[in-house]
């Protein structure tokens, strides 16, 4: 007897590295999604900044979209599409069950992602996103908006890409009380610090990371700790229920670390890592509960699991009342690595329906 197939109409806003990665996975795993999850996903709309929003009621052909993009041709050349000037217009004017929001992260006002996510949730669409801006600056508002509209919002890929951190804590560790989290949440800075531990100079390694595509031409967001800060804000809000503003987190990047400092740490059997730490200390009858979040270079002994995580790899250690220490190590970026987190979120939402 055949399974009843769930139909999911997806809108994809942002068609860069991650948007294309998700599209590729949806195409490659189409049969598996049908067989394993009884799920038939139709990509009905795609948007980018240059060509606006295209929509096709019966679904878009993913290989055609990927070919057009790799040939630097406009998405509007896909046959038989309606075009809208912007994603916001398109989202309002068309129908879909779910939005995958993967435009660029902006930590000043979270736009344009914020507007896209608000518009989708307000229409009762479920939302999955890898965009760190909205989750870092307005997680509370967005989860409340989702609840009001009976929609789901999932943000797995915003922290350590598809390596399951948020779902592991919220679902896998449901019922545990998290006391503290420490993490290496930025691959670029970990790559630089790992190379410095091997005797290299900060400037040389940064240039090499830029040449290899690990670091942006403007590396500020990474090396000054803002990217790690964004993930710290997300964990504060979704794990501890303690939303913070960026200025409430002590933040220091890695630009001041010298080769000599690194060498001294190594001589003492330690490693310097850029560590995000979040800690909740419960109060008692005379003291209030305190919550502290920091992003800063820390000297870690080699006995610490985080000290031994090198290169672009990310890692996180979670301390709870029932599981004293759980560590997760995995990729924190990449086309398919990030697409995987979105795919897992999409499946989790669809399973719930
Ligand atoms: N790359 C990773 O490994 C990774 C990992 C975790 C999380 N993330 C997050 O995932 C998101 C996407 O990253 P990415 O690497 O895919 O970035 P990207 O390659 O720069 O792609 C961003 C996409 O958003 C589109 N866009 C920008 N403004 C838009 C607007 N107003 N309306 C519609 N589309 C718009 C861009 O259009 P054009 O193509 O026309 O410029 C582009 O297609 C970011 O928020 C990032 O922080 C990325």
Q: Is 312 in the pocket of ligand 1 (CB under 6 A)?
A: no
Confidence at residue 3, expressed as pLDDT on a 0 to 100 scale: 67
Q: Is 52 in the pocket of ligand 1 (CB under 6 A)?
A: no
Q: Is 102 in the pocket of ligand 1 (CB under 6 A)?
A: yes
Question: Which segments of the chain have a pLDDT < 70?
Answer: 1-3
In three-state secondary structure terms, 155 is coil
Confidence at residue 2, expressed as pLDDT on a 0 to 100 scale: 59
Q: How far apart are the first and last CA of the chain?
A: 21
Confidence at residue 353, expressed as pLDDT on a 0 to 100 scale: 87
> Over the stretch 87-146, which tens digit does the pLDDT of each residue have?
999 999 999 999 999 999 999 999 999 999 999 999 999 999 999 999 999 999 999 999
Contact present, 130 and 157 (Cβ < 8 Å): yes
Distance 259 CA to ligand 1 centre (A): 34
Contact present, 102 and 12 (Cβ < 8 Å): yes
Distances (CA, A) of 284 to 175, 180, 281, 322: 21, 18, 10, 20
pTM of the predicted structure, to 2 decimals: 0.97
Confidence at residue 212, expressed as pLDDT on a 0 to 100 scale: 86
Distance 132 CA to ligand 1 centre (A): 11
Distance 308 CA to ligand 1 centre (A): 31
Please give the number of the atom of ligand 1 that sits closest to the Cα of 112: 31
Distance 109 CA to ligand 1 centre (A): 16
Q: Is 131 in the pocket of ligand 1 (CB under 6 A)?
A: yes
């Amino acid at each position: 007897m055949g399974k009843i197939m769930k139909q999911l109409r997806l809108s994809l806003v942002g068609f860069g590295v991650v948007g294309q990665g998700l599209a590729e996975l949806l195409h490659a795993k189409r049969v598996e999604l049908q067989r394993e999850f009884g799920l038939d996903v139709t990509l009905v709309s795609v948007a980018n900044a240059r060509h606006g929003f295209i929509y096709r009621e019966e679904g878009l052909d993913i290989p055609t979209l990927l070919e057009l993009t790799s040939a630097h041709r406009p998405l509007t050349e896909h046959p038989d599409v309606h075009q809208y000037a912007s994603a916001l217009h398109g989202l309002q004017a068309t129908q879909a069950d779910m939005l995958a929001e993967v435009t660029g992260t902006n930590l000043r006002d979270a736009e344009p992602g914020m507007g896209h996510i608000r518009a989708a949730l307000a229409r009762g669409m479920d939302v999955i996103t890898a965009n760190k801006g909205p989750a870092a600056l307005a997680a509370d508002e967005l989860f409340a908006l989702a609840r009001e509209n009976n929609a789901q919002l999932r943000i797995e890929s915003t922290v350590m890409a598809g390596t399951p951190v948020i779902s592991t804590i919220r679902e896998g560790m449901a019922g545990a009380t998290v006391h503290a989290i420490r993490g290496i949440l930025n691959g670029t800075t970990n790559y630089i610090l790992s190379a410095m531990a091997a005797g290299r100079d900060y400037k040389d390694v940064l240039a090499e990371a830029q040449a290899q595509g690990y670091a942006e031409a403007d590396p500020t967001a990474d090396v000054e700790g803002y990217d790690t800060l964004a993930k710290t804000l997300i964990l504060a809000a979704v794990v501890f229920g303690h939303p913070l503003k960026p200025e409430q987190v002590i933040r220091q990047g890695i630009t001041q670390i010298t080769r000599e400092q690194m060498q001294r740490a190594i001589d003492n059997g330690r490693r310097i890592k850029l560590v995000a730490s979040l800690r909740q200390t419960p109060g008692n009858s005379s003291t209030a509960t305190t919550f502290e979040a920091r992003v800063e270079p820390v000297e870690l002994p080699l006995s610490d699991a985080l000290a031994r995580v090198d290169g672009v790899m990310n890692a996180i250690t979670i301390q709870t009342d029932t599981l004293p220490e759980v560590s997760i190590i995995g990729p924190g970026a990449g086309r398919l690595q990030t697409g995987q987190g979105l795919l897992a979120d999409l499946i989790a939402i669809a399973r719930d329906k």
